[in-house]
Every structure is written in structure tokens, then in C-alpha cells.
Amino acid sequence: MSEAIATDICVIGAGAGGLSVAAGAAQMGARVVLVEAAAMGGDCLNHGCVPSKALLAAAAAAQAVRAGGPGVAGQTPVVDYAAAMDHVAATIAGIAPHDSQERFEGLGVRVIRDWGRFTSANTLTAGGATISARRFVIATGSRPAIPPVPGLEEVPFLTNESLFGLRAAPDHLLVLGGGPIGCEMAQAHRRLGCRVTLVEAGRCLGRDDPEAAALLVAALRAEGVEVLEGVAVERAGYGEQGLALWLADGRQVTGSHLLVATGRRAALDRLNLPVAGVETGPQGVRVDAGLRTTNRRIFAIGDAAGLGQFTHLAGYHAGLVIRSALLGLPVRARGDHIPRATYTTPTLAQVGLTETEARAAHGAAVTVIHEPFAGNDRARAMARTEGFIKLMVVRGRPVGVTVVGPDADEIIGLWALMLANRLKLSAVAGTVLPYPTLGEISKRASGTYFSPKLFDNPVVKRGVRLIQRVLP
């Protein structure tokens, strides 16, 4: 006979979003059941952010040897791909205890290791138990979306779920898709000594500022990645020289391995959502502004909710659900202050609207400030002057910021704070930052916004002359 469990909150999926809900709710006194079929920690820890950033770090070390530095001659690095993958595995292992079943059981969470499946509007089965809960949270994440390219299913392609299990470096990695995964992994593998060809149907990082994305593509090409943009793949299979992609323009590219990184789809198929009255849309579970599904007792968060695919977004959603489900407070999920970064060199980071989006939304009210890293003394000292910051400002408030260049992922943090709190640009202009830092580029861009108002202003000039006459 199946065990019957009654609980306050049942969370399905122990990734970034689900773990945050479970930990928060349990520590605030709720009874929590957490259902996870695969590895604790979800995609970010096991097949996503953590391994990809660890591999990029190893690749950057190899590149530093190759490139030398200011006043230092470069050398050919000796790359041990298996050692780089050992670093990936060790990084995951170092973080894993934080997401482990043991830690969550220690917090008082009942953890069930199985696929969860709804059996009614308020019951779910998993691990032989029937769980009835006052609230459910769907936090089941996403899976690689495999495009319908003829022949693809017949060749042994990699995805983010298998890539980090390689032990030997691919001779020639073909990458299908130039989104964040494709660009990050193309650069990592090139720097680790592989030949890399990236094929993108549209434009690489197509959601990002085109000028910033073009800088990144130019950097990939300069490092030796062959980037083919705007070309569809008609067929995959084996050519005379191994794995092959036949392109719509008649070309054929061949390689030893193929990574498919063409987007991700919400993982909902095992949940039996219709029986729970939960509707889905093209991006994932349909949710309202409070992250409630069409069944008001069931929330959806993170990748499953289709509002964006970022660990920090899943964490933000988790915080909102805790406030709503535990404390009964009204919540409203915002998207305008969620930053994102692609951790290539140069790094590309964005918060709020891009220039194109800002002009479409605000028309002539938008002022765009463009400030290059070449004007930043620290960037000059580091010989890292590639890139820029772009501010989109409406009536004295930033509505979007693009940064491409060194430490863009860190620099965007200040702007995430500004947009989250809807602060005026004068807050940055009035802040003193240490000299010389890359972060000063933010202050300089704010100064550029205000300087015409201050320095090219006849009223200010007349006022200063008048004051100078009367001052003792």
C-alpha cells in the first residue's frame, strides 16, 4: 500500500529554484517534501553554470600562457584536457554538499528520489508515496531542445548533459547554435587546443546588443574559432572525414565531435499536468504575475516557468513563492531588473533594455551613452581596452545597460542594483569609486550623461560668473 504524506509545501525538482524554496520554507517552519529524480543540485550544478564556468577558468589559464601579457611573451601551453575536466568534477564535488540530500534532510525536509507525477489537482505520486500538499511548486527546469535536422538523431552528438563527461579533447568540435552555451563552450574548447567550428542559423547571441555580440564574435574568430553565422543546417551525418553538417549554402563542415546547443525547453513531460489543471504555453508552464499556474495552489518557477533561463532568476522566483505561499503576501515577478552575462572573453553583460528595445519602448525620450574601455586607465594598464559600456537613460533613470569587455559580469552588478531600485543616474555620478578600477567606467558614463548639462550650459556659465563677482 502506498504511503500517504500530507505536507504544507511539495517542491518538484531540486535545482536552483526548488532547493531555495525547500530550504527557505523548512527554515521558516513549514513542512516540506522535495521530489528529485536525478542529481541533487539540478542543471546549474551538474551540467550547467558550474561545470561551464570551471571549464572556462581552465581554458583561460591556458590562454594566459598562450597570449602572454603586457611585457610578457606568450608560449604554447601544454593542455591536459583530462586535468581540466578533473577541475570541473572537483568544482562540482566541492559545491555538492550544499545541495545534498543529507543537508536538506538535516533542515527537516523529506526528500524523495523519484519522478513526481500529479494524480489530481492536489496530489502527486513519487517513490511509492501519495503526497497531498497545501501548495505545490513546479521547479523541474529545462532540457536541451534538439532541432529537427534530418540525420541528427543518427549521429552521436553531445549536449550540455554529456559534454562534461569527456576525458579526451575533441580534435575538432562542431558546435551547433551560437547562444550563450555555444559561444562559451566554443571559446573554452578552442583555448584548450581543439579546432572549433560554430554554426549559427541567425546571429550569435541574437538577443543581445548587436555591436557587443559582434565584438565577441570577432574575438572568437581572432582566437581561431571558425564562426559561420546566418546559415541553416540542412542535414547531419557522416562525410568522408567524419561527422558532417551539410549547410544550406552548399558548404559542408566536418569534425570529430558535435555539440548541440540550440536552446532549451521546459521539462514538463513527466508531470501529467492536465490532471492537475495546469496549463502550458510555448515557453513553459503558464503563470500569472504572482507565479501561480492555472491551478492557484500550484506555482511554477525557474526554467519551468518559461520567463528566462538563469539560476539567479530561479532564486528570485523562489523568494517570491516563499513570501506568497508561506506568508500569504501578494507578490509580483519583475523581469526588468534581471541581469545576464555570457562568460566569454570579452564578457558580455546586460540588464534591462538593450538599445533597440529602449528605442522601441521610449522613442526619442532615450539618451544613449557609449563609453569605451579605452578611456579607462585600469583597462589600459591591463592592456584590456576592448569593449564598452552603453547606458540607455530615460528622464535621468537608466532603463538598460550593456557592458562588453573585462569584468563586464561584475560591473553589471551596480546597474542591477540601480534598476532593481529604480534609482536615478545621479546616484552613480555622486558615488566615489576607487581609482584605478574597471568599475570606474560606470561612473565615467554617468558623467558623460551629465556633462553637457553642466559644462555646455549658458545658464550655469552666467551663474558662475555672477557668483565669482560677489564671492569675497
Ligand X SMILES: NC(=O)c1ccc[n+]([C@@H]2O[C@H](COP(=O)([O-])OP(=O)(O)OC[C@H]3O[C@@H](n4cnc5c(N)ncnc54)[C@H](O)[C@@H]3O)[C@@H](O)[C@H]2O)c1
Binding-site residue numbers for FAD are 53, 116, 140-142, 303
Q: Which of residues 311-330 bind ligand X (CB under 6 A)?
A: none
Binding mask 269-288 for ligand FAD (x = CB under 6 A): -xx-----------------
* Nearer residue to ligand X within complex by CB, 84 or 213: 213
Q: How far is CA 356 from CA 203, 368, 392, 446, in A?
A: 15, 10, 10, 20
Rounded least distance, CB 224 to ligand FAD, Å: 22
Query: Would you count residue 262 as binding ligand FAD (CB under 6 A)?
Result: no
- Least Å from the CB of residue 96 to ligand X: 20
Choice from 13, 182, 193, 255 touching ligand X (CB under 6 A)? 182
**What are the φ/ψ torsions at residue 142 (nearest 5 degrees)?**
-145, 165
149 interacts with, out of ligand FAD, ligand X, none, CB within 5 to 8 A per kind: ligand X
Alpha carbons 451 and 82: distance in angstroms, whole number: 53
Among 343, 373, 415, 449, binds ligand X (CB under 6 A): 343
Among 43, 209, 407, 440, binds ligand FAD (CB under 6 A): 43
Residue span binding ligand X (CB under 6 A) among the ranges 92-100, 102-110, 259-267, 277-285? 259-267
Residues 189-218 within binding reach of ligand X (CB under 6 A): 199-202, 206
Cα dihedral 48→54→60→65 (10° resolution):
-150
Residue from the set 261, 273, 278, 333 that interacts with ligand X by CB under 6 A: 261
- Composition of the chain by helix, strand, coil, percent to 5: 40, 25, 35
Pick from 118, 299, 310, 415 the residue near ligand X by CB under 6 A: 310
d(CA 397, CA 394) in angstroms, rounded, equals 5
Strands 117-120 and 123-126 turn out to be: antiparallel
Q: Which stretch binds ligand FAD (CB under 6 A): 205-213, 306-314, 383-391, 456-464?
A: 306-314
Residue 409: which residues within 8 A CB-CB, separation 6 or more?
341, 343, 347, 349
The rounded distance, in Å, linking the Cα atoms of 447 and 45 is 40
Residue 340 CB, nearest distance to ligand FAD (Å)? Answer: 7
Q: Is 48 in the site for ligand FAD (CB under 6 A)?
A: yes
Site residues (CB under 6 A) for ligand FAD, limited to 124-183: 139-141, 160, 181
Q: Residue 52: name the closest of 245, 253, 310 by CA.
A: 310
Identify residue 42 by its one-letter amino acid code: G
Residue nearest ligand FAD (C-beta atom): 15
Name the binding residues.
53, 116, 140-142, 177-184, 200, 263, 303
Q: Are 349 and 340 in contact (CB under 8 A)?
A: yes
Q: How far is the CB of 9 from ligand X (least distance, A)?
A: 26
As a whole number of angstroms, the distance between CA 239 and CA 467 comes to: 80
Return the closest-CA partner of residue 29 out of 15, 4, 9.
9
DSSP 184-203: HHHHHHHHTT-EEEEEESS-
Where on the chain is the footprint of ligand X (CB under 6 A)? 147, 149, 176-182, 184, 199-202, 206, 233, 261-264, 309-310, 340-343
Interface with ligand FAD (CB under 6 A): 12-18, 35-38, 42-44, 47-49, 52-53, 115-116, 139-141, 160, 181, 267, 270-271, 302-304, 309-312, 314, 343
